[in-house]
Each structure stands twice: as C-alpha cells, then as structure tokens.
Chains A and B, each alone.
Chain A
C-alpha cells in the first residue's frame, strides 16, 4: 500500500514568489493535514481539509492557502514568500474527521528554501 506522497521533495524560491506543494493521501483517507516544521521547531499546524472542505486553520497569515481535490489529494500554496517561510512542509492523512481519533500518517515532506 502506498503511503502519503508529497512533491516536490525540494523547492527553491526567491522572496516574493509563490510556491505550490502537493500531497496524495493514503487510499481510503479523506482528511489531509498540512504542518510547517521550521528548523529546530516542532510541528506547527497549518491547514486541515476533509471531504473537500477546510475544517480548521492554524495561526498563519492568509498568504498560506490550499485546497483539496475530489480525489482527496491536496495542494498548499504560499504566496509572497518570505525568508522565514523556509521550512519542511509535512502533509499527513487520516480517515474522515468524524471517524474517531485522528490517527495521522505523515509523508516525507517538501523542503522549501526561500532565498
């Protein structure tokens, strides 16, 4: 069974540009979560999508946005990139929001570097 897949593995952008990161959940999972992991810091919750809808949003500015497609894959968009956006972006998936405890399975992450 394929796990959570993320692309690209690495991405280098310059300040002010836009970045798009993609995530494919485990088959059967309908929830997708995005986390930011900056160097030396923990997992900061960004966004949660379930059944195509945004269910929850972390304490991040509006330039962080995303969506979930009908096949439950998801993309994270970061506009007007700033140097401090450099981080590992992790995607996780789980069964639906109301199926019980949120047991998350993580992908390997996308490393975004902003120069």
Chain B
C-alpha cells in the first residue's frame, strides 16, 4: 500500500512569489493534516481536514496560506505571497476516521526555501 506522498520534495522561490504544495494521503484515510517545521523550531500543526471539510485551521499562521482538499482526496497548500519566514519543512499526514485507530502517517515533507 502506498504511503503519504508529497510534491515537490524541494521548492526554492523568491519572496513575493506563490508556491503550491501537494499532498496525497493514504487511500481510504479521511483525516488529512498539515504541519510545518520552521528551522530550529518544533513541528507545528497547521490544519486538519476531514474528507473535504476543514475541521480545524487554528494553526494557519495568516491569510497568505490557503489549503484545499477537493473531493476529499489530495490536498494542496498554497502560500501567496511567500515571505522569508515561511521557509521550513511542510509535512502532511493522514489517518483513519476512527479515533481508536487514528495514527497519523506522515509524508516525506516538502522543504520550502524563500529567498
């Protein structure tokens, strides 16, 4: 069974540009999460989808970040316009809906560098 995949693995952009990150969860996983780790800091929660609905977006830093999950399958995270402090590694995770088996499996991450 395929794991969580993320694209691209690396992205280098200039301040003010737009970048879109993509996450494909494990098939059948209704929960999808985005996290990020800014250099030297902890891994922080950004938001949580249940199927196509945003369950919790309390971790989104500001309105330059827009996440979507069309059809409850893959998800995209757009940063527009990117700022220097957005640099870091963005992780996606997915899990089953049942709380008893709600273990989050992570993708390899996208390393974003804003110059």
- Do A and B belong to a common assembly? no
Residues of B within 8 A of A (CB): none
